[in-house]
Amino acid sequence: MTKPYIFITRSLPEEIVTPFQEKFNVKMWDSEEQPVDREVLLEEAGKADALITVLSDQVDEELLSRGRQLKVVANLAVGFDNIDIKTAEKNGITITNTPDVLTETTADLTFSLLMATARRLIEANEYVRKGDWENWAPLLMAGHDIHHKTIGIVGMGRIGEAVAHRARGFHMNVLYHNRSRKKEAEEKLGAVYKSFDELVTQADFVVCLAPLTPETKGMFHKEVFKKMKSSAIFVNTSRGDNANEDDLYQALVEGDIAGAGLDVFENEPISKDHPLLSLQQVVALPHIGSASVETRKAMMNLCLENVQLVLDEQEPKTKVTS
């Protein structure tokens, strides 16, 4: 009997893949960084029983209708805005993601980015390395306090709660906005529910952790930035499309807000000539929210376990539904 065929769109460490090779025929795209060619992906989708994809792979109608024997697509991310879930469901293809295993790691990065932006860590590091540090000065690289300030979390899912937990450790006042009230987070973390408008008006740090959906796309735009405090810092570690980058740039240049910590962008990788990158008050990272070695390996393992469960005709651990 031929083994089921799994195609993985990036090269993953051998130690992760080897245990599954006895039971499955596993092929990987030969680069860790370069995305798989679209034509190759479409061809593989037509032959594979399972695909393991990353967030830059478009798993759309064209791809999903190629899959004559495709049973499962395991996305190496908690977000799944790159996947047409409705078409997958219509075609009987199971979709899985990687929640939980990345929650704490992504919260760590979100809070680090908030701190790095507020306390100007990247700018200060460059200043020292360039040899510009000649004297101590009273306001040298002075940034914004974090402790006892107000954080406003937009999108109070698992990662939002983990960020709120960290914020409490810094004696911050925690506001949140979410599609539905989170009573447990309110009781456990003292988080206070606010309307979106109230939150953006009152918070010193506005942190976007909402998934990308038609409702959230572009939710941070010109008028919203204008409502924020001029000392506010905007942090985005969910999806770049949730903010309008032209409006964000204008808001920073015109002083509507004080800074931005960005791990995600409308187009990734962001071009080095992008106007946002010309601003000192912007800290930009290459979408590394969940990028610790431990967590990325846990995500890879979860993808492979989900694939194995579906191919064994069992319920996967973390199935996505519309």
List of residues contacting ligand DGY (CB under 6 A): 55, 77-79, 102, 289-290
* 11 vs 54: CA distance, rounded Å: 11
Active-site residue 239, yes or no? yes
With respect to ligand DGY, which residue has the nearer C-beta, 177 or 239? 239
162 or 251, CB closer to ligand DGY? 162
221 has catalytic annotation: no
Q: Buried (b) or exposed (e) across 293-317, using 16+ Cβ within 10 A?
A: eebbebbbbbbbbbbbbbbeeeebe
Using omega within 30 degrees of 0 as the cis cutoff, is the peptide bond preceding 35 cis? no
Catalytic residue check, 268: yes
Q: Check 268, 274, 305, 313 and give the catalytic one.
A: 268
Least distance to ligand DGY from the beta carbon of 98, Å? 6
- Name the residue nearer to ligand DGY (CB basis): 19 or 286: 286
Is 42 or 298 the residue whose CB approaches ligand DGY more closely?
Answer: 298
- Tell me how far, at minimum, the Cβ of 290 lies from ligand DGY, in Å: 4
Separation CA 245–CA 250 (nearest Å): 9
Shortest reach from residue 79's CB to ligand DGY, in Å = 3
| Nearest distance, CB of residue 289 and ligand DGY, angstroms | 5
Question: Which of 10, 239, 245, 296 is an active site residue?
Answer: 239
CB of 155 to ligand DGY, least distance (A): 12
Structure tokens at 228: 């924020």
Token pair in block for residue 6: 């799994």
Between 53 and 290, name the residue whose CB sits nearer to ligand DGY.
290
- The Cα–Cα gap between 171 and 235 comes to 19
Catalytic position from the list 120, 166, 287, 296: 287
Minimum Å gap between C-beta 243 and ligand DGY is: 15
Residue type, 43: E
Which residues are tagged catalytic? 239, 268, 287
